[in-house]
Amino acid sequence: MTNEAEIISRSLELVADRAGDPAPAVFERLFAEFPQAKERFARDTSGTIKGEMLNMVLECLMSPEGPYQMHLVRAERVNHDGFGTPPEEFDRFFGVVHETCRDLAGEGWTPEFEAAWRAQIARVVEGSR
| Tens digit of each residue's pLDDT (9 = 90 or more) over 89-102 | 878 999 999 999 99
What percent of the chain stands above pLDDT 90?
42
> Using 50, 70 and 90 to split pLDDT, how confident is the model at 81?
low
| Stated pTM of the model | 0.86
- Quick one: average pLDDT of 79-97? 80
Helix, strand counts (H, E) of the chain: 6, 0
**What three-state secondary structure class fits 46?**
coil
Sign of CA dihedral 111, 57, 92, 119: positive
Integer angstrom CA distances of residue 27 from 4, 23, 31, 37, 45: 24, 6, 6, 10, 13
